[in-house]
């Protein structure tokens, strides 16, 4: 979920609640708060806690709420995960530590420390080497499966091979989610169970229908929806996320504000591409 900002740059908590309600009413089974799309690098922990409370107040009990708790500092990730459990989160999204580029045994130690901070809180490990500079190897993930709260994995390496490798090492004990909207259907075909989606902000019902069709065995219907959504998925990543999705929401009547610096608002070319793509998705 994006983080809506008011004109003065503060979080618009009222709009956050209304947007969360809209997403849950339009196909989302859960919401990831304060992740990459939520601009976590430019939020303070205090802002994140207030944002989580506002969303929980709006949709608590209707959807699972997963709090972004990752950091390149293990102690900070441990503290954030313990706080998420205290606030009543249903899970924590914990990204591979970025910039430090730890070796695999360092990654394992990091995630073990985070898992022990809140043993009852389910964890989704998040692998996105394009942003972190380091990739969590499938065999490292497999070693972490002795931790009962390591239950899911957001796969954003850009390849379906990661899903196959994780399945081979971890079987279906690990619920794997696509971290790339354009790869949701291909990843479902090799064992993923869903998607942590950006496109769901503007195409939630279609994404939900695609996943349901695939799981129901109607692969032709799933493929047709995938092909319909592909231009939108590409447009939403034509420049750095969440610049395009915030613009798409603005074009759809949701005044979520511009991203915080160092990200900039979408330029006119991006807005035009998004406008045309959204228009093509609407029923005629």
DSSP state of 65: E
Active site residue 234: no
Q: What b-and-e string marks burial along 106-130, b requiring 16 or more CB atoms within 10 Å of the CB?
A: ebbebbbebbebbeebbbbbbbbee
Residue 37 lies in a domain: yes
Query: Is residue 275 domain-resident?
Result: no
Query: Would you state the pLDDT for residue 60?
Result: 87
- For the chain, the straight-line distance linking the first and the last C-alpha, in angstroms and rounded, comes to 28
The residue among 138, 136, 117, 118 whose CA lies nearest residue 127 is 136
Residue 163 lies in a domain: yes
Contact 240, 42 (CB under 8 A): no
CATH of the domain at 140: 3.20.20.70
Residue 184 lies in a domain: yes
Of 56, 83, 126, 246, which is the active-site residue?
A: 126
Predicted pLDDT at 154: 98
Q: Does 1 map to a domain?
A: no
Tell me whether residue 228 is in a domain. Answer: no
Q: How far is CA 125 from CA 25, 230, 277, in A?
A: 26, 26, 32
pLDDT (tens, 9 = 90+) of the chain, 284 residues, equals: 999 999 999 999 999 999 999 999 999 999 999 999 999 999 999 999 999 999 999 998 999 999 999 999 999 999 999 999 999 999 999 999 999 999 999 999 999 999 999 999 999 999 999 999 999 999 999 999 999 999 999 999 999 999 999 999 999 999 999 999 999 999 999 999 999 999 999 999 999 999 999 999 999 999 999 999 999 999 999 999 999 999 999 999 999 999 999 999 999 999 999 999 999 997 64
In a domain, 250, yes or no: no
Contact 93, 124 (CB under 8 A): yes
Domain carrying residue 162: 13-220
| 3-class DSSP state of 224 | helix
Q: How many domains does the chain have?
A: 1
Give a yes or no: residue 22 inside a domain.
yes
126 catalytic, yes or no? yes
């Amino acid at each position: 979920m994006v983080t809506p900002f008011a004109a003065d740059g503060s979080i618009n908590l009222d709009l956050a609640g209304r947007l969360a309600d809209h997403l849950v009413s339009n196909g989302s089974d859960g919401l990831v708060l304060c992740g990459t799309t939520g601009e976590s690098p430019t939020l303070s922990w205090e802002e994140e806690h207030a944002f989580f409370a506002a969303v929980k107040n709006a949709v608590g009990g209707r959807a699972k709420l997963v709090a972004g708790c990752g950091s390149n500092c293990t102690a900070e990730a441990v503290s954030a995960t313990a706080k998420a459990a205290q606030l009543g989160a249903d899970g924590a999204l914990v990204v591979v530590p970025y910039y430090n580029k730890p070796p695999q045994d360092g990654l394992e130690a990091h995630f073990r420390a985070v898992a022990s901070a809140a043993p009852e809180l389910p964890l989704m490990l998040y692998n996105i080497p394009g942003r972190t500079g380091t990739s969590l190897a499938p065999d490292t993930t497999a070693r972490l499966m002795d931790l009962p709260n390591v239950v899911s994995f957001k796969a954003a390496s850009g390849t379906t091979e990661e899903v196959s490798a994780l399945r081979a090492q971890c079987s279906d004990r690990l619920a794997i989610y696509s971290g790339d909207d354009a790869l949701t259907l291909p990843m479902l075909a090799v064992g993923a169970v869903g998607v942590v989606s950006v496109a769901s902000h503007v195409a939630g019902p279609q994404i939900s229908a695609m996943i349901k069709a695939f799981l129901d065995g109607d692969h032709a219907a799933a493929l047709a929806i995938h092909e319909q959504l592909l231009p939108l998925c590409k447009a939403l990543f034509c420049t750095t996320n969440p610049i395009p999705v915030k613009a798409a929401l603005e074009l759809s009547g949701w005044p979520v504000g511009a991203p915080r610096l160092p990200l900039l608002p979408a330029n006119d070319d991006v807005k035009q591409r998004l406008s045309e793509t959204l228009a093509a998705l609407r029923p005629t």
